Structure 1
Amino acid sequence: MNSSELHPVVLHHIVNTLGWPTLRPLQKDAIAPVLAGSDALLLAPTAAGKTEAAMFPLLSRMASDRWRGTSVLYLCPIKALLNNLLPRLEGYTGWLGRRASLWHGDVTFSRRKQILREQPDVLLTTPESLESMLVSVNVDHRQFFAGLQAVVVDEVHAFAGDDRGWHLLAVLERLTHLLGRPLQRVGLSATVGNPGDLLTWLQGSGAGTRPARVVSPDPPSQAQAVPAGEVQLDHVGSVSNAAKVIAALHRGEKRLVFCDSKQLVEELGHALRGLGITVFLSHASLSTNERRRSEEAFAQARDCVIVSTSTLEVGIDVGDLDRVIQINSPFSVASFLQRIGRTGRRQGTARNCLFLTLDEGSLLRAAALLLLWGRGWVEPVTPPPEPRHIVAQQLLALCLQEHRVGDRIWPEWWNGLWPFGTGSEPIVSHLISSGYLDEDSGMLFIGPEAERRFGFRHFMEMTSVFTAAPEFTVLHGRKEIGRTDPALLTEEIEGPRLLLLAGRTWRVNYIDWKRRRCFVEPADGRGKARWNGRGLGGLSFALCRAMRSVLLGEDPPVRLSRRAKERLAVIREGDLETVHPGGTVITKDVTGDVRWWTWAGFRVNATLAATLSQIADSGQRVEEDSVRLRANLTPDEWRKAMTGAAERLCLPEVDPKALTGLKFSVALPERLAVATLAARLADLHGAREVLGEPSRWSIIS
């Protein structure tokens, strides 16, 4: 199949409006399966034209088959990416006399009313906004979605790896049931380690019954190819040193700097501004307008730096980049591939990335990640297990959507998709008994407890499946700058209270505790930035094992600075007793501290500590590299405990306080909520692998 199979009008505009002499490999390869109506996963690095690969054949089908009404949904994980894509899709649909429109939380009420009156052919939205349309009393969802034919899911790997993926699948199944026919599903993804599994996951209830194809013009090894020397690893030791290096290098070029926290973004931005560098910032706690101003200004400038968290990792266009700089390290190879893929888009330029690490732990982690990348390895994307809280959320959302649902037919809405079927009856029973659902004459409908817990602002909280930490809005006059952690507003201080936000220092003048707002004005000096991060799992098994390989002497296939080489040598010398090429190591030092150096990651070590509770030190904080054992443990007791351990693995213990981070856990029986969290804290496969390895004892004098 070649590009001539596209609709003539689409093909005409590709050649004459865009001026493209030919399509890219992915775009050519996607034509046949997408035109045939198959489900597909389009897999390619950043800037490979995935949006066009999906939309050109879908627009061709729209014209040839005379689709009417809103026939294509384009779903993205973040609003900023939707905003960025809209002008392109407005142009492409305009070729055919069709329209594309945007619908998310920032779209005005009047604009939404216009969309409902004059339906676009392509609607760009998020899964949360899509569900809001399904449950809204202002949207006739049966009429609005009657012509729907296909769904494009951009950055599908970003969905599949967390609970938003389960939410996305469940909402698509409800749409499918509503229409009474399957929808073509097209996923767009960066390189992943298990593309076939990801496509099967995206198909949902259609897996095995609908045609499906992974479209990937390049094997992962080729997709990752970067010229030798264009990836560099350096150790600078501090934020101020990192700022000096960035300020001195690549003057006159456009540089995108990634950091692993919002706090680090703020500190580095402030340091760069102090050195006279034109700098812009982007992270999730900055106001939408502040981020948009930064991203637009950066796109138009040349000699400048933008400092960002992962918010700029996905395909938001910030212009033609010269350099990517990574402070410390991302937590996955897939994330690194996304980031380095932001460079090398101009003809004659190469993809590049400079790592600047601030401490020894980050240097070791960066070296390990680059070691995995050099091996051509990419993480598989795996959905989080046991999403019982999402099942509860979906049952409540369905009752909002339909007003009342038969107490025997509700599983039909998810078309047999696990885990939303009849196996969820205990959750339904709990929702009824606890007042989240009411039951009358064989029908289920929203109960008073759901109204009390989630009814605020027309059940807006019901459509979001993640819990955000509470933050205070920071305002300078009427201008919103962003949001900050309330702990910065309550801690005891001497002198004025100074905040660091948008790379600038602000003095707090007034705090409105009731409305969670604080008012500030510009100030000199250096303020403080802090946000509470939430997350499960820590470092992966694969990454920790690569860290062990680095400690054993293996270097990543990148340019190492003199400072990085010297510091790695110091790290290796310091960890000499914790690694051995023949297996794991158990050490006992002069203080009586006994540790099992697994180098297996948080989840594996949590699983091992629970399984070997009779010899593990009770109450220990789970570490990435080791499990602390009883101080009086003997080698004989160790061997006895290890016998048969792989056949009796246990899930980690769960602190009930941790359930607050699992949204909708309040709508579950506590035992099911605890079981859900325990399953997510475990890595049974990795634990079995570690238990199958030999171990040796070492007494450290």
Structure 2
Amino acid sequence: MGTELDPVLIHHIVNTLGWPDLRPLQRAAVAPLVAGDDALLLAPTAGGKTEAASFPILTRMAAEHWTGTSVLYLCPLKALLNNLEPRLERYAGWIGRRVGLWHGDVKMGGRRNILAERPDILLTTPESLESMLVSTKVDHRAFFAGLRTVIVDEVHAFAGDDRGWHLLAVLERLTHLVGRPLQRVGLSATVGNPRQLLEWLQGASAGTRPCEVVAPDLPVSVSGTVPPGDIELDYVGSLDNAAKVIAALHAGQKRLVFCEARQTVEELGEMLRGHGITTFLSHASLSTDERRRSEQAFAEARDCVIVSTSTLELGIDVGDLDRVIQIDAPSTVASFLQRLGRTGRRADAVRNCLFLTLKGETLVEAAALLKLWGSGWVEPVTPTPEPRHIVAQQMMALCLQEHQVGDQTWRQWWNGLPPFDDSAEPIVRHLAREGYLDSDAGMHFIGSEAEKRFGRRHFMGMTAVFLGAPEFTVLVGRSELGKIDPYLLVEEVKGPRRLLLSGRSWQVTYIDWKRRRCFVEPVDSGGRARWTSRGLAGAGYELARAMRDVLLGADPPVQLTRRAVDRLADEREQSASLVHPGGNVILRDKSGDLKWWTWAGFRANATLTATLSEVTDPGQQFNDQYIRLREDLTSAAWRELTADANSRLCLPEVNKRALNGLKFSEALPERLAVATLAARLADLRGAERVLEEPTRFVTIA
């Protein structure tokens, strides 16, 4: 037991929780966190990270007599906050402290209670935190005056996209507001670059404050060893067959099935219910109440299945699971590790996952991902490059927070953190020139254009850095069921219009186009599901290369069913001319099409297509595996035109219509908005590695 912990906490850990000792991570975290150091705590799912962070911080709180709201506990998901609240309330209560919850689903009465009697620990999201900073109803200087520590749960889920930049920027503004450094503690599952992730979390204070990566629970990677886990890879050929397999296996057990799309969740859920399986669903387009009911019912049941997108990948408690089943493959090894970590929590259980792949292509992708996992490789978490649109958002949010900001002093609010430093000056000038900011007597304040574009509902749209797809709310009577893609309401149909939502079919009875609402009633069958994806598709370099290795004969270190072995053999035979162990292939097929099979991933191929415009097809056609080349290209012309390519790599071209998916892009000069998207579409290192390899021309007679 950590002797530096508060004696009252130790008493309750032993007598109330019944723990004879702390876990290795929890023991190792005590000293640095009690000392006030920044830290990144790494452990698999259910590794005790919440206690590893909260027990030492509660010890500091008691020993140093912190008052007011002194700890922020930030999560990426409201559901995760709801799940953590009773546990943290219990721990804080042992030393006479209180926990409060503040996010978009918390009613006004609950918020008023928090403002009237500030809790010692506030659970919230970065978006809700910024809402507090810009709200006229919150005296943010008084409320955050006692702030000492920020705990960021699932920090890897922030760091890889724009929510990470938003999080860092808000933390720097808080640091400037309270006038003291804030201890920053990140909790994360396995990542490939933990030291860099911790330095990222430290923000402007990186290199000036003591910090430590705490990860004693993670196994030391030994060359040639395979991580523990009972993993099986199967090929079933269709979602209907997957439903039959799930229905036939593991009777009496609790199974969590992950799918990569909401539509797949809905369709599989309906199929499983058709097989008589007690089935629950969870995805982002179901209403909060619907998801909560589903997750609670699953947690309390035994012989059942819950089908989910990545919403249940993070640490939301759904009870003691027996099995995880994966339809096709997740997009990253890190995601697979999160899902695998859902199982094996009992002393007599092992972590397990059954992959059910629906197509030959996804079988190869799953095998590639498992090959990377078997080698101990995990993706590094890297911040998105050049977040200029977040700079624009933050400058407007700061003006809302402070009402007016000095035109020479605004940089101080981010304490020198790039890109919120001098490099932001062109963006600030553009905001003032276009009316997003007004200026007078050396001060900036919010302008009429910002009010016009973002001012609805007290600037609520200012705090979210992603654009949500336009969706219609589906209601059964007065109860919200979830949201759907509007395409389902405008496509031509014969007969009644029917939807599939929450794994059940519904008939549309009335559409309120103005308020974007759709009223339904239950029917037996015939519903359809659909949602539009807005993300950038495509595999990364390592996964694409692992797919090539699989096609060249490499097997993942897991159990393969006979169906998987046979289908992999077919895929290898069909792709024999597209892969070569000595480099990449340019193949001319029987129709005359010329394709460069790089197996480099979407972003590397986008970079190569832009750089080698003199040899690529004018239609700019490429995907994860290949780039289409000019049909008249010869091997001699190829060598001549690509000889210096590595010295002139350039960013991919961006269609200006794509700017519609980058929130706040309209608050940037168009050239900077385009440059931001281009930087995010590029993989310069992957492109370099392809160009360093030998290339062979092959013609199919």
Q: What TM-score comes out, normalization by structure 2 length?
A: 0.99
1:392 positional shift: 0.2
> Is the 8 Å Cα contact of residues 74 and 152 (structure 1) preserved in structure 2?
yes
Q: Indicate whether 1:241 and 2:246 are aligned.
A: no
> Within 5 Å, which residues of 2 pair with 1:3-22?
3-22=2-21
Question: Is residue 473–residue 484 contact of structure 2 (8 Å, CA) maintained in 1?
Answer: yes
> Does 2:549 match 1:549?
yes
> How many angstroms apart in 2 are the aligned matches of 1:580 and 1:31?
52
> Residue 57 of structure 1 aligns to which amino acid in structure 2?
P
> Which residue does 1:509 correspond to in 2?
509
**Within-5 A mapping of 1:79-478:** 79-219=78-218, 221=220, 226-227=227-228, 230-478=230-478
Cα separation, 2, equivalents of 1:671 and 1:226: 47
Aligned equivalents of 2:536 and 2:162: distance in 1?
Answer: 12
Q: CA deviation at 1:589?
A: 1.4
Distance 2:350 2:213 in 1: 27
CA distance in 1, matches of 2:509, 2:217: 56
CA distance, structure 2, for counterparts of residue 220 and residue 447 of structure 1 = 54
Distance in structure 2 (CA, Å) of the matches to 1:347 and 1:680: 44
Once the two structures are superposed, residues 628-657 of structure 1 have per-residue CA deviations (whole angstroms, 9 ceiling, x without a partner) of: 000000011100111110010011110011
Contact 1:536 1:680 in 2 (8 A): no
- Give the equivalent residue in structure 1 for 2:574: 574
Quote the offset at 1:537 in angstroms.
Answer: 5.1
Distance (whole Å) between structure 1 residues aligned to residue 639 and residue 157 of structure 2: 42
Offset from partner CA, 1:182-235 (integer Å, 9 cap, x none): 00000000000000000000000010000000000044556996546x100000
Give the deviation of 1:620 after TM superposition. 2.9
What secondary structure sits across from 1:152 in the alignment?
A: strand
Mapped partners of 1:484, 1:161: distance in 2: 27
| 2:456 partner letter | F
Query: Is the contact between residue 227 and residue 374 of structure 2 (CA under 8 Å) also seen in structure 1?
Result: no
Q: Within 1, Cα distance between the matches of 2:110 and 2:352?
A: 42
1:622 and 1:197 map into 2 onto residues whose CA distance is 32
> CA offsets per residue over residues 499-556 of structure 1, 9 Å max, x none?
0000000011110000000000011222110000111252100000000000000000
Counterpart CA distance in 1 for 2:171 and 2:264 is 37
Conserved 8 A contact 1:584-1:598: yes
CA distance in 1: counterparts of 2:220 and 2:581, whole angstroms: 27
Q: Which amino acid aligns with 1:536?
A: L
Matched, 1:54 2:53: yes
Task: Give SS of 1:356's match.
Answer: strand
Structure 1 counterpart of 2:7, one-letter code = P
Work out whether residues 49 and 187 of structure 2, in 8 Å CA contact, stay in contact via their aligned partners in 1: yes
Aligned counterpart, 2:32: 33
519-528 or 308-317, which deviates more? 519-528
In structure 1, the partner of 2:75 is 76
Contact 1:363 1:564 (C-alpha < 8 Å) held by counterparts: yes
**Do the aligned partners of 1:35 and 1:61 also contact (CA within 8 Å) in 2?**
yes
Give distance in 1, aligned partners of 2:88 and 2:451: 39
**How many Å apart are 1:495 and its aligned residue?**
0.6
- Corresponding residue of 1:665: 665
d(CA) in 1 for partners of 2:282, 2:117? 35
Q: Counterparts of 1:459 and 1:227 in 2: how far apart (Å)?
A: 49
**Structure 2 residue aligned with 1:600:** 600
Shift of 1:592: 1.2
- The CA distance in 2 between the partners of 1:71 and 1:19, in whole Å, is 28
1:131 and 1:393 mapped to 2: Cα distance? 11
Shift, 1:621, TM fit: 3.1
Q: Which runs of 4+ in 1 moved over 2 A?
A: 218-228
Deviation at 1:591, TM superposition (A): 1.2
Partner of 1:684: 684
Secondary structure (helix, strand or coil) at the match of 2:395 reads: helix
Shift of 1:479: 1.0
Code of the aligned partner of 2:556: P
Q: What amino acid is the match of 1:440?
A: D
Distance, in Å, in 2 between the alignment partners of 1:68 and 1:505 is 53
Q: Is the 8 A contact 2:400 2:445 kept in 1?
A: yes
Deviation at 1:590, TM superposition (A): 2.0
1:479-490 map, 5 Å: 479-490=479-490
Question: What code does the residue aligned with 2:123 have?
Answer: L
Contact 2:44 2:218 in 1 (8 A): no
With the length of structure 1 as denominator, give the TM-score of the two structures.
0.99
- Which one-letter code corresponds to 1:158 in the other structure? A
Q: Which residue identity is paired with 1:376?
A: G
Q: State yes or no: 1:700 paired with 2:700.
A: yes
Any conservation in 1 of the 2:226–2:375 contact (CA below 8 Å)? Answer: no
- Superposed CA RMSD: 1.0
- Cα deviation, 1:142-162, whole Å, max 9, x if unaligned, reads 000000000000000000000
1:44–1:189 Cα contact (<8 Å) kept: yes
CA distance in 2, matches of 1:382, 1:622: 24
Runs (5+) with no aligned partner, structure 2: none
Separation (CA, whole Å) in 1 of partners of 2:80 and 2:433: 42
Q: Distance in 2 between matches of 1:621 and 1:169?
A: 37
Q: In 1, are the aligned partners of 2:595 and 2:629 still within 8 Å (CA)?
A: yes
* Distance in 2, Cα, partners of 1:511 & 1:333: 42
The correspondence of residues 516-535 of structure 1 with structure 2, limited to 5 A, is 516-535=516-535
Give ranges in structure 1 of 5+ residues lacking alignment: none
Measured in 2, the distance between the counterparts of 1:166 and 1:643 equals: 38
CA–CA distance in structure 2, aligned partners of residues 520 and 393 of structure 1: 38
Looking at structure 2, the residues matched to 198 and 621 of structure 1 have their Cα atoms a distance apart, in angstroms, of 35
Counterpart secondary structure, 1:531: coil
Which amino acid in 2 is paired with 1:595?
K
- Partners of 1:18 and 1:389 in 2: CA distance: 47
Residues 609-636 of structure 1, C-alpha deviation per residue, up to 9 Å, x if partnerless?
0000001001233311001000000011
- Distance in 1 between the 2:618 and 2:57 partners? 58
1:651-680 deviations in Å (ceiling 9; x for gaps): 111001111111000100100000000000
Report Cα offsets for 1:423-458 as digits up to 9, x if no partner.
111001110111100011100000000000000000
- The alignment covers a number of residue pairs equal to 699
CA contact (8 A) 1:70 1:145 kept: yes
Distance 1:687 1:220 in 2: 33
Report sequence identity in percent.
70
2:637 match: 637
The alpha-carbon distance between structure 1 residues 417 and 220, as it changes in their structure 2 partners (threshold 3 A), is farther
Counterpart Cα distance in 2 of 1:219 and 1:82? 25
The answer to which of 445-454 and 216-225 deviates more is: 216-225
Contact preservation (8 Å) 1:507, 1:520? yes
SS of the residue 1:426 aligns to: helix
CA distance in 1, matches of 2:116, 2:226: 49
Cα distance change of structure 1 residues 265 and 537 upon mapping to structure 2, 3 Å threshold: closer
